Copies of this chain bind each other. A is one copy, B any other.
Amino acid sequence: MGELTAALRKHSRKVTGPRQAILEVLRRHQHPLANREIHRALGPENCDLATVYRNLHTLEGMGLVRRYDFGDGTARFELVPEGEEGHHHHLICQQCALIVEVEECFPEELEQALARRHGFTGITHRLEFFGLCPRCAAARPTPAD
Protein backbone atom coordinates (compact mmCIF):
# COMPACT_ATOMS: atom_id res chain seq x y z
CA MET A 1 0.00 0.00 0.00
CA GLY A 2 2.72 2.44 0.97
CA GLU A 3 4.59 1.01 -1.98
CA LEU A 4 2.03 2.44 -4.36
CA THR A 5 1.93 5.81 -2.65
CA ALA A 6 5.71 6.09 -2.68
CA ALA A 7 5.99 5.12 -6.32
CA LEU A 8 3.28 7.54 -7.34
CA ARG A 9 4.75 10.37 -5.35
CA LYS A 10 8.14 9.78 -6.91
CA HIS A 11 6.59 10.43 -10.31
CA SER A 12 4.45 13.34 -9.17
CA ARG A 13 1.36 11.28 -9.63
CA LYS A 14 -1.69 11.28 -7.43
CA VAL A 15 -3.26 8.57 -5.35
CA THR A 16 -6.77 8.42 -6.70
CA GLY A 17 -9.70 6.11 -6.24
CA PRO A 18 -9.58 4.47 -9.67
CA ARG A 19 -5.85 3.99 -9.31
CA GLN A 20 -6.17 2.15 -6.02
CA ALA A 21 -9.11 0.14 -7.27
CA ILE A 22 -7.21 -1.02 -10.33
CA LEU A 23 -4.23 -2.09 -8.26
CA GLU A 24 -6.64 -3.85 -5.92
CA VAL A 25 -8.10 -5.84 -8.80
CA LEU A 26 -4.65 -6.78 -10.04
CA ARG A 27 -3.70 -7.80 -6.53
CA ARG A 28 -6.66 -10.13 -6.32
CA HIS A 29 -5.90 -11.85 -9.60
CA GLN A 30 -2.50 -13.38 -10.07
CA HIS A 31 -2.94 -13.70 -13.83
CA PRO A 32 -2.51 -11.16 -16.58
CA LEU A 33 -5.77 -9.30 -17.14
CA ALA A 34 -6.99 -7.44 -20.20
CA ASN A 35 -8.10 -3.83 -19.86
CA ARG A 36 -11.66 -4.86 -20.47
CA GLU A 37 -11.54 -7.53 -17.77
CA ILE A 38 -10.18 -5.05 -15.27
CA HIS A 39 -12.85 -2.58 -16.28
CA ARG A 40 -15.54 -5.17 -15.78
CA ALA A 41 -14.10 -6.25 -12.43
CA LEU A 42 -14.17 -2.66 -11.26
CA GLY A 43 -17.77 -2.31 -12.25
CA PRO A 44 -18.17 -0.32 -15.48
CA GLU A 45 -19.98 2.47 -13.66
CA ASN A 46 -17.17 2.94 -11.15
CA CYS A 47 -14.39 3.71 -13.58
CA ASP A 48 -14.21 4.66 -17.22
CA LEU A 49 -12.50 2.29 -19.62
CA ALA A 50 -10.31 5.11 -20.88
CA THR A 51 -9.14 5.66 -17.33
CA VAL A 52 -8.21 2.01 -17.07
CA TYR A 53 -6.13 2.30 -20.21
CA ARG A 54 -4.46 5.50 -19.06
CA ASN A 55 -3.66 4.12 -15.64
CA LEU A 56 -2.24 0.86 -16.85
CA HIS A 57 -0.01 2.79 -19.18
CA THR A 58 1.10 4.98 -16.30
CA LEU A 59 1.61 2.10 -13.91
CA GLU A 60 3.55 0.21 -16.54
CA GLY A 61 5.81 3.19 -17.00
CA MET A 62 6.45 3.27 -13.26
CA GLY A 63 7.25 -0.42 -13.22
CA LEU A 64 4.40 -1.38 -10.92
CA VAL A 65 2.69 -3.37 -13.61
CA ARG A 66 3.96 -5.52 -16.44
CA ARG A 67 2.46 -5.90 -19.87
CA TYR A 68 2.08 -9.25 -21.62
CA ASP A 69 1.05 -10.16 -25.13
CA PHE A 70 -0.32 -13.60 -25.76
CA GLY A 71 -0.74 -12.99 -29.43
CA ASP A 72 -4.51 -12.64 -29.52
CA GLY A 73 -4.54 -8.94 -30.14
CA THR A 74 -5.26 -7.77 -26.60
CA ALA A 75 -2.67 -6.61 -24.11
CA ARG A 76 -2.78 -8.02 -20.60
CA PHE A 77 -1.36 -6.64 -17.39
CA GLU A 78 -0.09 -8.19 -14.23
CA LEU A 79 1.02 -6.69 -10.95
CA VAL A 80 4.76 -6.76 -10.33
CA PRO A 81 5.25 -8.21 -6.84
CA GLU A 82 6.58 -5.67 -4.33
CA GLY A 83 10.31 -5.46 -4.12
CA GLU A 84 10.80 -8.17 -6.69
CA GLU A 85 11.92 -7.75 -10.21
CA GLY A 86 8.96 -9.89 -11.16
CA HIS A 87 10.34 -11.28 -14.38
CA HIS A 88 8.60 -14.51 -15.29
CA HIS A 89 6.73 -16.17 -18.10
CA HIS A 90 3.50 -18.03 -18.76
CA LEU A 91 2.22 -21.31 -20.03
CA ILE A 92 -1.12 -20.88 -21.74
CA CYS A 93 -3.59 -23.60 -22.67
CA GLN A 94 -4.67 -23.01 -26.25
CA GLN A 95 -7.99 -24.69 -25.56
CA CYS A 96 -9.30 -23.17 -22.34
CA ALA A 97 -6.92 -20.22 -21.92
CA LEU A 98 -5.71 -21.47 -18.56
CA ILE A 99 -2.62 -19.51 -17.58
CA VAL A 100 0.15 -21.00 -15.48
CA GLU A 101 3.01 -18.90 -14.24
CA VAL A 102 6.36 -20.52 -14.92
CA GLU A 103 9.77 -19.70 -13.57
CA GLU A 104 11.78 -21.15 -16.41
CA CYS A 105 13.60 -18.41 -18.24
CA PHE A 106 15.80 -18.08 -21.27
CA PRO A 107 19.36 -18.84 -20.12
CA GLU A 108 21.16 -15.64 -19.19
CA GLU A 109 24.46 -16.62 -20.79
CA LEU A 110 22.81 -17.53 -24.07
CA GLU A 111 21.06 -14.20 -24.12
CA GLN A 112 24.27 -12.35 -23.40
CA ALA A 113 26.09 -14.26 -26.12
CA LEU A 114 23.33 -13.41 -28.54
CA ALA A 115 23.44 -9.73 -27.61
CA ARG A 116 27.21 -9.63 -27.95
CA ARG A 117 27.20 -11.34 -31.31
CA HIS A 118 24.81 -8.77 -32.75
CA GLY A 119 26.21 -5.82 -30.83
CA PHE A 120 22.94 -5.17 -29.06
CA THR A 121 22.75 -3.66 -25.59
CA GLY A 122 20.06 -3.50 -22.93
CA ILE A 123 18.67 -6.80 -24.07
CA THR A 124 15.45 -8.29 -22.75
CA HIS A 125 13.03 -10.87 -24.03
CA ARG A 126 9.41 -11.83 -24.25
CA LEU A 127 8.71 -15.55 -23.84
CA GLU A 128 5.43 -17.41 -23.55
CA PHE A 129 4.63 -21.09 -23.84
CA PHE A 130 1.53 -22.57 -25.43
CA GLY A 131 0.08 -26.04 -25.30
CA LEU A 132 -2.79 -28.21 -24.18
CA CYS A 133 -3.44 -28.48 -20.44
CA PRO A 134 -4.11 -31.85 -18.76
CA ARG A 135 -7.84 -31.24 -18.40
CA CYS A 136 -8.34 -30.33 -22.02
CA ALA A 137 -6.13 -33.19 -23.15
CA ALA A 138 -8.30 -35.57 -21.13
CA ALA A 139 -11.47 -34.10 -22.55
CA ARG A 140 -10.17 -34.45 -26.07
CA PRO A 141 -7.88 -37.48 -26.21
CA THR A 142 -5.98 -37.98 -29.45
CA PRO A 143 -7.62 -35.26 -31.59
CA ALA A 144 -8.23 -37.69 -34.45
CA ASP A 145 -5.51 -36.24 -36.64
Residues of A within 8 A of B (CB): 67, 69, 71, 73, 75, 91, 93-94, 100, 102, 104, 106-107, 110-111, 113-115, 118-134, 137
Copy total for this chain: 2
Q: Do A132 and B125 form a contact, CB below 8 Å, given A75-B73, A114-B91, A114-B102?
A: no
A104 and B93 contacting across the interface, CB-CB below 8 Å: no
- Whether A120 pairs with B134 at a CB distance below 8 angstroms is yes
Residue with the greatest number of chain B CB neighbours at <10 A, chosen from A115, A121, A125, A134: A125
**Contacting residues, chain B, for A125 (C-beta < 8 A):** 127-130
Query: For residue A67, which residue of chain B has the nearest CB?
Result: B71
What are some 30 contacts across the A-B interface (CB < 8 A)?
A69-B71, A73-B75, A91-B118, A93-B120, A94-B122, A104-B110, A104-B111, A104-B113, A104-B114, A106-B127, A107-B107, A111-B129, A115-B129, A118-B133, A118-B134, A119-B133, A119-B137, A120-B131, A120-B132, A120-B134, A120-B137, A121-B132, A121-B137, A122-B132, A123-B129, A124-B129, A125-B127, A125-B129, A126-B127, A126-B130
